[in-house]
Amino acid sequence: MIKGIPVSQGIGIGRVVLADAGEPVWNPEKAVDPNAEKDRLHHALQRFNEKTEHLAKSIEQAEDASRTSDSSQAEILRGHIAMLADPFLISQMEEQIAGGKCAEDACYAALSMFESIFMQTEDELMRQRAADVRDIRRRMLQILTGTEPAPLGDIPEGSVLVAEEVTPSMLAEVNRKNLSAIAAEKGGNTAHSAILARSMELPAVYSAEGLLRSVKQGDLLVVDGMDGKVIPNPGQTELEHYQTRQKEELERKAQLEIFRNRQTKMADGQKKEVFCNIGTPEEAAAALEKGGEGIGLFRTEFLFTEKSTMPDEETQFQAYKTAAECFAGKPVIVRTLDVGGDKQIPYLHMEKEENPFLGFRAVRFCLKNVQLYETQLRAMIRASAFGNLMIMIPLVTCVEEVRSVKSLVKKIMCQLDGQGIPYNKELKVGIMVETPAACQIADLLAEESDFFSIGTNDLVQYTMAADRGNPKVGYLNRPMHPAVLRSVRHIIACGKKAGIPVGMCGEAAADPLLTPLLLAFGLDEFSVNPSAVLQTRAQIGKWTGEKAEKIAEDVFQMKTAEEVEKYLKSI
């Protein structure tokens, strides 16, 4: 058994198909004719674009045939085309060739520089974008060296894709019907291929160290996407155990389908909402298809990290407009740029700080970079004319920050009025409550805000003074700690008293153990990963207000996270 990270739930059983993600070898010779090498480079760029666009269109045609609406695969591939078309990147390659390098060396050097930029950040989301750069680099070098591998489209039914690192282009080639699961030695939850695995509902385990040494082509493999285990060549008893679990999981998923187009209600009829968290406008369609009743968190930083320069107003406007139109009047909450801390964007040239999590980040950075912020706010406000878009401010710690943002919004609205540009006159501006300061003055902030959304990931981190990226203090980073639960209850109570809706967009919103507590506190909206929508809706439907409140009363007699967790697991 090999332990890894579960990145997509389910149990998959099948025969190993090894995918080679390695880069070809070439002779790094000095370019005799720089012009000829530039021609080779540009021919390779053109072939890359043609092949990638062909893959994207093939995916879209397959989706049309099956009447699905998940275009994330095609859009991720087109994102690779956009990344490789970046003028700065191409100029770097051409400069390398002018300096005497062959096209292969130039391509490798320029893309490796981009990879290094992504890898140097502590943000896991940003680090996983380095995998996309490696995918692009590998495919470009294969084109330049004439070593393009055979496509994966002909893999047999019941295959498990195994690689050192699974890439979006690999998954684009594979026939989904023939794939049972995915396993890889590298990667994490935020890798694009992990996002695709979840959208394709394929069990997947990444960071399974030693996997390639333990399997060979055609081996039987079990991939446990629930517990993060990979089992090569299981014995009969073990195989039967996982076959039973696989059958039970499939039955559970089938039962959840009855919740797909239902309104979210508690057992006693109280109405709630299940929204989705997304990172790109293309993911909005997948969220709608999965049964999301709105978007509770659109992370706009992805629009900034996918490029080497800041996206202009029109680019941002189109992204926000796409999401707003997709949900046709249902809420779409767009978070303004949450940069800094563990999210570094190289071209913004942010100064290195001793403690970036407590430093110049999120709304603090935006309010000091007004031109950047006004561009984003203007794009959001314009997009509000095409749906029920709302603006959310991250990392709020004081009333002044909310007032400053609302002042900028009002200023931009006046400008748009003067230009005759439409927008939603009733546009709502709310805040992400994720700091102890915001929790302590939640009553004051509620008077300034149109809605609250609790960001439990950071709220837990700051409340417990425990870095969520540090495994040594991972035992403290628990939403079931009494300090965190009291904070969440207080925030919701303040929102309720002020008459504003309160949602939650952190990981805790999808934790079934916490559902009765959140219902007892009065949470209105649960915003989760699209793949967790049906499960969350089903969990909400199990509880009456009376039963949930009784559980909350019991929990608040407990003094440790361990006691709370043990009790919630027992009910």
Active site residues: 192, 505
State residue 475 phi and psi, 5-degree precision.
Answer: -65, -20
- DSSP strands (E only) in 441-483: 452-454
Q: Quickly count: other Cβ atoms within 10 Å of residue 474's Cβ.
A: 12
Q: What is the 3-state secondary structure (H, E, C) of 84-109?
A: HCCHHHHHHHHHHHHCCCCHHHHHHH
Q: Are strands 5-8 and 204-206 parallel, antiparallel or unpaired?
A: antiparallel
For the packed helices 561-570 and 482-498, what is the interaxial angle rounded to 10 degrees? 70
Helix, strand or coil for residue 214?
A: helix
What are the C-alpha distances in Å from 35 to residues 100, 236, 435?
A: 11, 62, 56
**Rounded to whole angstroms, how far apart are CA atoms 554 and 504?**
23
User: Quick one: 167 exposed, middle or buried, by C-beta within 10 A (0-12, 13-18, 19+)?
Assistant: buried
Helix, strand or coil for residue 360?
A: coil
H or E element, residue 220? strand 220-224
Among the listed residues 17, 480, 502, the one whose alpha carbon sits nearest the alpha carbon of residue 223: 17
Which residues does 236 contact at the CB level (< 8 Å), separation at least 6?
Answer: none
β-pair partners for 161: 17, 182
